[in-house]
Each structure stands twice: as C-alpha cells, then as structure tokens.
Structure 1
C-alpha cells in the first residue's frame, strides 16, 4: 500500500476521519490512532512524530490483512471481551462455533473524554460495557450474551444501592 503520510494538519484530519470509519474491522483501533489524535492537537510543523509514522505503518499493515468478520447465527450465544486502557475503552463481540475457535463479529472502541480518564478501572469497565451495549443494541436484543472482563462487574451492576456517576448514566 503506497499511501504517503499526511503533510499537514488538514490531511491528517482527513486521513483520521477515513480510518475511523474502518474501526469496526480492527481490534483496539482507537489505541492505534492515538498518535494521530495527539498530532492533530499539536497542530504545528512538528506534529508528525516517529510514533505517528510507526502507527501509520501498523495501520496500513492491518488494512492490508483485515480480519474476517463472522455473522452470528440467530439466537446463538455471543461473547464480548471488554478492555480498558488509560485513555481508551474497547470491546470485541465474537462467537465460538467450536470450543477452540473464536470468530470476531464486531470491534468497538473509543477514546476517553478528559474527565473519563480519571475514572477507576471498575468504572471504565462499566463504561465500556455501556458504550458497547449502546453501539451493539441489536446483538444484545437478539442473542444471549456473556461478557468477559478482568473486573468483577456482576457485583457492581447488581447492587441495589448503586451510587455515584454510574447511577447517573442514562
């Protein structure tokens, strides 16, 4: 893929906008685009860095070898992995046609707002679940779903006395 790197802020914004549309095909895509977002904020002549160049090369590689997404079978049990980092949340929805095989259906990721970067890991995991559930509502309505994460979400979500910001989320 012989795409040259962007030369200015406008070209970088254009490239980032095009890439965001492909986010459902690449795992943790927001993490991959982070150097681009930071370069857009800097907006100076030195905005394009070595990390931008390596991210650009990695994204080109991912686009040349995209994963094969699968379609779920009606009423089939689906699984979702949730992942959080210090500045992004991600989820992958997948199916297991056999015990040793996982086929991705949809990838979801988004950057955190400034205030969200101060959330606890538990709150970020709940936010990732909420964001994925909003984005993937038809899958949640049509299929039984098992959510896999390293946080004890069940304990928090089944509390009748939930307080704080999670109570305020619509």
Structure 2
C-alpha cells in the first residue's frame, strides 16, 4: 500500500497524472450532450439494485429520474467520437463506495474535450470494503485493461 501511494505521489509531482474533481459519477455512466454543447454524465446506478437476486422490485424516484436521463440520452445522437491518431488521450477514473468508472477522451481541433470511450462496473465481493486508494488503483487497472 505504501509503495502504491509513493508511486502515485511521484506521478502527480512529475505532472504525469493529476487529480480532477468531478461530479459523483458512478456505474453505469452515459455521457449526455446538453443543449449548451457541454457533456454531463447520466447516473444509471439506481437500476443496479433492481437487478440483484432476491431484491423486490420497487420503482422509486431515483429510478424514474435515471430512466428519464437514459431516455433523453438515447433520443440524441451519440456523443462518442472516433479517436484521432497522433493526439494524446486523457483518462479519467473514478471510484466510489459501490462502483468504478473510466472515461477516455481527446481534445478536438478547438481544444474541447471529446469522449472517445467510457465504461463502468459495480464493485462486488470484498471490493466495496477496499480503502479508497485501492479502489482508485482498481479503477485504473480496470479502465486500462478494458479500453
């Protein structure tokens, strides 16, 4: 654990990686283009609890809100773009108490970030009990292995 923290600290100090503050986006994420052209992330987590074995089906306000956001997302053209050769990639990772997410982006010709790929998954087994630094490392490994 100390070795991981030391390595992460070295990478931050060298400028190779940096900490970003984002809204609390969690599994499963879906980028949604807003009317002003900015991208926001749709939270679909409320549906994960409905898919667990032995859980009774209860459609609550959170499910309805997530459903409306998904419906809006699906009714608009895709916001994912094809990767551009020769341009650097940006990788964003996020770990929360119950999920891991990763997003791959590139800047376009105007310097605007464009989403290339995104993925997420819910933590399972002992993973929700991991310390935050280990969840962040798991998010990084998960993201890199699956992109």
Distance 1:102 1:52, change over 3 A: same
- Structure 1 residue ranges (4+ consecutive) displaced by more than 6 angstroms after TM superposition: none
Larger Rg over CA atoms: 1
Structure with bigger helix share is 1
Match of 1:59 in 2: 70
The residue number in structure 1 matching 2:59 is 48
Map 1:1-170 to 2 at 5 A: 26-27=30-31, 32-41=43-52, 43-44=55-56, 46-98=57-109, 100-136=111-147
Normalising by the residue count of structure 2, what TM-score does the alignment of the two structures yield? Answer: 0.64
Number of aligned residues: 110
Query: Comparing both structures, which one devotes a greater share of its residues to strand?
Result: 2
**Separation (CA, whole Å) in 1 of partners of 2:113 and 2:44:** 25
Structure 1 stretches of 5 or more lacking a match? 1-22, 137-170
Q: How far is the alpha carbon of 1:79 from its aligned partner?
A: 0.9
With the length of structure 1 as denominator, give the TM-score of the two structures: 0.56
How far apart are 1:66 and its partner, in Å?
Answer: 4.7
CA change 1:99–1:129 in 2 (3 A) is farther
Other structure's SS at 2:44 match: helix
